[in-house]
Structure 1
Amino acid sequence: MSQHHLVIGAGPVGRHVAALLADRGEHVTIGTRSGRDTGLPGVRHVALDASDADALTRAATDTAVLYNCANPGDYTQWERTWPPLAAALLTAAERTGAVYAITGNLYPYGPVDGPMHAGLPDAATDHKGVLRARLWADALAAHRAGRLRAVEVRGSDYVGPGTGENGHVTRVLPAALRGKAVTMIGRTDLPHSFTDVLDVARTIVAAAADATAHGRTWIVPSNPPRSQRQALTEVLAAAGRPPVPVRRLPVPAVRAVGLVSPMMREVAEMGYQWTAPYVVDDDETRCHFGIEPTPWDEVCRRTADGVDA
């Protein structure tokens, strides 16, 4: 029997989650502030302020799973926007009994010396990493207290259709598809994990449906790491385009720009991701769920096809 699922956020992960569920015959609603129709067949859309716990609770009544796929894009506003949003999501999940499935990221781990895996402690010291770690800690505490059922999946830097400015490759891809030189942050020759947004959706849907997966985080299965330059070049090749010159913007230069740009100041805080290898160990997730990442050639093709150059 089909169930109702409420997806908060219509970014690339939220849209992929909704599409996967609708294809399985589930009843799916996407909640966003605007209520704009994404055009996904069989998906209902509602205008909803998800930071309003009462409104969110009403929307989530009789919902099997409440998916947090929100992604406030402006780093400078995270301290203002995330706490009330996360608190409302927790409240709604507790009131309705819905499984609370969270789209997380790797920020809570902070700088690392080796591959990131779910057993690592959340040891970030920058404010965005500390904030994301606290949001998961609050959900986990509620789960352990028996107030709700929570699970979080964590992916690396996104690739795939619709990623746009949220991805370091897709941010420069429109210009690269036109044959223009591009600038990428930090080292462009270091191994770095990239995660397809489709694989984030596949993992969070599987984790939400599996009671044995609740109460912990999971690393989204991702393809073997590639450098920024290599990833961009391979996406271009999938579109039948030649490589382009790739300039690098050193992290100290980003910090200097951050003296006058609040957004670049926030980006500079994450500079450790681009000055050393930044890779994931997803073996446990693959083994538990039987999920393999989308083949890299297909990821490159989907990423290129999803960009309006």
Structure 2
Amino acid sequence: MQAILGAGGAIGTELAKALRIYSPDIRLVSRNPKRVGPDDQLFVADLRQADQVSAAVKGTEVVYLTAGLPYDYKVWQRDWPVIIKNVIDACITHHSRLVFFDNIYMYDGDNLNQIMETHRIDPSSRKGKVRAELIRIIWDAVKTRGLSALIARCADFYGPGVNNSVLGEMVIKPLKQGKTANWLVSDHYRHSFTYTVDAASATALLGNCPEAFGHTWHLPTAKNPPSGREWIEMVATELGVKPRKRIVGKTMTSLLGLFMPVMRESREMLYQYDKDYVFNSDKFEKRFAFQPTSYEDGIKEILRSEPPGLS
């Protein structure tokens, strides 16, 4: 039995599909789980409740923590440490291996060109500090409590059916609706995005590769990412529309943050848009001979999955 904690999101849904190669028994855990495959086992649990997490993990060999919390620092600060403690305790109690699906917020934000697993952990944001603490807690449990774990980390992601990605909200959705695309700070810098189907396939592979545990892995992400301008032009070309764009600078982001909570929470992440943001997954690609989906093919697949004009 393999379990996905926080099933139902963009990654959890794709992961449920990818795991069928490795296990006939998949348990989907969330407060409102929905089947992805006909034989999926649904388990209702709140990850903030230790007893519910323990019951969800019992009987599993591998546990994938893919949960996403509301994009709110106070929620992250309050709930993430509780969730990670509950999951670690349950995995140790039931002798389950842990795969933690992670982002890059904890890395040093001064240089984001060729971000590798060895990149210095020195977060530039409050949310990044929360993520860094989670990583510290996981590796401490590995060293001192016998936890078997690995970190599967990706850049910002995009993919078919993803409704709340940065690329989807800023570029794909408005252009499909005949509106103007948006980009933060400057559209001159390159920006990596990890394709969700690749991320899920790679995460499933790692969870079923015993020697992968004890390590951090960057999930496969295409090289040579487009700049913001090139992303907008690529999507517009596929849609057959003009690449109309609006650059939302730091000042405008601050003003919008007075009225829009999402923009207010995004201000501290603008450092990812005022320089090249290039994610390196050579370690995974070489170890598993994995070729990431190209950006062009990824965009084509996304647009093919939904008729133009629909949100």
TM surpasses 0.5: yes
In the superposition, relative to structure 1, how do residues 220 and 248 fare at CA in structure 2: closer, same or farther (>3 Å)?
A: same
Partner residue, 1:163? 162
Equivalent residue pairs, number: 304
Q: Matches of residues 82-231 of structure 1 in structure 2 within 5 Å?
A: 82-113=80-111, 114-224=113-223, 225-231=225-231
Q: CA deviation at 1:24?
A: 4.3
In the superposition, relative to structure 1, how do residues 178 and 265 fare at CA in structure 2: closer, same or farther (>3 Å)?
A: closer
| Code of the aligned partner of 2:26 | V
Q: 2:37 aligns with which of 37, 40, 44?
A: 40
8 Å CA contact retained: 1:140, 1:216: no
Q: How far apart are the structure 2 equivalents of 1:24 and 1:242?
A: 42
| Code of the aligned partner of 1:144 | K
Question: Identity of paired residues, percent?
Answer: 23
8 Å CA contact retained: 2:170, 2:182: no
Partner secondary structure for residue 51 of structure 1: coil
Per-residue CA deviations over 1:14-55 (Å, capped at 9, x if unaligned) read 0111111124453111111123x2443332222211221211
Deviates more, 1:217-226 or 1:204-213: 204-213
Q: CA deviation at 1:196?
A: 0.5
In the superposition, relative to structure 1, how do residues 47 and 129 fare at CA in structure 2: closer, same or farther (>3 Å)?
A: same
Q: How far apart are the structure 2 equivalents of 1:62 and 1:279?
A: 39
Q: CA deviation at 1:291?
A: 1.8
8 Å CA contact retained: 1:22, 1:41: no
8 Å CA contact retained: 1:22, 1:42: no
| Code of the aligned partner of 2:92 | E
8 Å CA contact retained: 2:16, 2:36: no
| Code of the aligned partner of 1:105 | N
Q: How far apart are the structure 2 equivalents of 1:190 and 1:261?
A: 25
In the superposition, relative to structure 1, how do residues 218 and 211 fare at CA in structure 2: closer, same or farther (>3 Å)?
A: same
Q: CA deviation at 1:146?
A: 4.5
Partner residue, 2:58? 61
Deviates more, 1:94-103 or 1:76-85: 76-85
Deviates more, 1:48-57 or 1:37-46: 37-46
| Code of the aligned partner of 2:119 | L
Q: How far apart are the structure 2 equivalents of 1:68 and 1:25?
A: 17
Q: How far apart are the structure 1 equivalents of 2:124 and 2:152?
A: 21
Q: Which runs of 5+ in 1 are unaligned?
A: none
Per-residue CA deviations over 1:90-129 (Å, capped at 9, x if unaligned) read 1111111111101100101031323110011211132100
| Code of the aligned partner of 1:218 | W
Partner secondary structure for residue 165 of structure 1: coil
Q: Which runs of 5+ in 2 are unaligned?
A: none
Q: CA deviation at 1:132?
A: 0.5
Q: How far apart are the structure 2 equivalents of 1:216 and 1:91?
A: 20
What is the Cα-based RMSD across aligned positions, in Å?
1.9
